[in-house]
């Protein structure tokens, strides 16, 4: 009975996060340089499904549908994906410092985007290049790790550090030869991470790989609990640790690549949010994984609202997540909770 009551409490906490996310989405639609009343938000969105007599201006509808809707959706999707990937990596690698870029996905995406900008590719191709090179990088990391001696997990992490370093050097070289008048600022801004200029086409591009990656993580979350006990214990419980680790890495890589390709490099979300959720719900991935998804979406949505409304000039969202995430994680470490 105490276990059931504890599980029920954890379930309620996850449900509250879902409600807070829904409220945050509605407030994000209304908040901005062109304020939109809540009833107008509901009316405009409802008019896409039902026959509603317009009681709002055409400009407000354009702002909501073409600017805020894709940006709000993308903020939730990226935050959800990065946080879920971070929680998954921390579980399967049994490393509290694991983050979505541990296998080089972010470094690969940065190189791909920088190369596309250098070649003056249009915006859709920049996104596609970032996504492709992100997946290619993690594939290269995996291939290198299979030839490494010693423990497989350690070899995978060290391979990720090495390949990431090489690609970061490549990105630095591209910045060196880029045109300082237009290409270099574009590359630098992309590397800072931003959701400015988000389009519904970006949402559509990221939706499929994110869905394909997030669903298995959600369905297999109880098995991640088994992996945290170690491979030998997992084997005694009938779980093939190696096969499951491959599946989790593939799913986490897919959602990380999709997220970074449409948002640029956004750090700390996948590192801090899972730790914060552990403080609230414990280490059971049955509740930790959905909580990380919901709270990650809510966190990045709130940070993006600050990024676009705090100053007259929009702040790159990667800068804000670092300003918020680094001091918070430092406080976790100094209090001894960063190893939860």
Domain limits, the chain: 2-101+196-334
CA gap 229, 92 in Å, rounded: 10
CA gap 270, 249 in Å, rounded: 14
Which stretch of 30-34, 68-72, 100-104 has the lowest confidence by average pLDDT? 30-34
Assign domain 2-101+196-334 to a CATH class. Answer: mainly alpha
What's the mean pLDDT in 139-163? Answer: 87
What would the pLDDT profile of 209-263 be if each residue is shown by its tens digit?
Answer: 999 999 999 999 888 888 777 767 777 777 777 888 889 999 999 999 999 999 9
The predicted model scores a pTM of: 0.92
pLDDT at 249: 92
Give every CB contact of residue 335 below 8 A, 6+ residues apart in sequence.
none
Q: Are the beta carbons of 280 and 298 closer than 8 angstroms? A: no
φ, ψ (nearest 5 deg) of residue 185: -60, -35
State both tokens at 93: 């690698």
State both tokens at 122: 């249009």
pLDDT at 3: 61
pLDDT at 336: 56
- For residue 52, pLDDT over 70 is answered with yes
Neighbouring C-beta atoms of residue 241, cutoff 10 Å: 20
pLDDT at 204: 95
What's the mean pLDDT in 81-85? Answer: 97
Closest by CA to 245, choosing from 230, 266, 260, 263, is: 230
Across the chain, mean pLDDT equals 90
What's the mean pLDDT in 163-179? Answer: 96
Q: What is the percentage of the chain residues whose pLDDT exceeds 90?
A: 61
Q: Are the beta carbons of 116 and 131 closer than 8 angstroms? A: no
């Amino acid at each position: 009975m105490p276990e059931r009551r504890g599980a029920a409490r954890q379930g309620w906490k996850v449900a509250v996060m879902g409600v807070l996310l829904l409220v945050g989405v509605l407030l994000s639609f209304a908040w901005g340089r062109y304020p939109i009343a809540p009833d107008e938000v509901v009316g405009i969105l409802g008019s896409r499904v039902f026959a509603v007599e317009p009681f709002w201006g055409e400009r407000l509808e354009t702002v909501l549908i073409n600017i805020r809707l894709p940006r709000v959706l993308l903020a939730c999707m990226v935050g959800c994906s990065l946080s879920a990937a971070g929680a998954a990596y921390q579980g399967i690698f049994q490393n509290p410092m694991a983050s979505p870029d541990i296998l080089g996905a972010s470094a690969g995406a940065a190189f791909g985007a920088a190369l596309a900008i250098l070649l003056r590719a249009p915006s859709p191709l920049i996104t596609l290049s970032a996504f492709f090179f992100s997946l290619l990088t993690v594939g290269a990391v995996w291939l290198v790790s299979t030839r490494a001696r010693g423990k497989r997990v350690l070899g995978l992490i060290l391979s990720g550090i090495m390949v990431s370093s090489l690609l970061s050097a490549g990105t630095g070289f591209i910045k060196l030869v880029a045109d300082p008048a237009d290409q270099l600022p574009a590359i630098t801004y992309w590397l800072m991470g931003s959701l400015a200029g988000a389009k519904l086409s970006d949402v559509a591009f990221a939706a499929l790989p994110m869905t394909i990656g997030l669903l298995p993580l959600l369905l297999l979350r109880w098995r991640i609990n088994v992996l945290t006990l170690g491979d030998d214990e997992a084997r005694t419980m009938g779980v093939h640790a190696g096969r499951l680790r491959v599946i989790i890495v593939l799913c986490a890589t897919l959602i990380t690549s999709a997220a970074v390709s449409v948002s640029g490099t956004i750090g700390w979300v996948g590192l801090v949010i899972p730790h914060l959720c552990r403080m609230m719900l414990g280490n059971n991935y049955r509740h930790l994984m959905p909580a990380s998804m919901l709270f990650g979406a809510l966190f990045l949505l709130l940070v993006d609202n600050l990024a676009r409304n705090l100053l007259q000039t929009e702040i790159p969202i990667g800068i804000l997540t670092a300003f918020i995430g680094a001091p918070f994680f430092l406080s976790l470490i100094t209090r001894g909770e960063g190893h939860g």
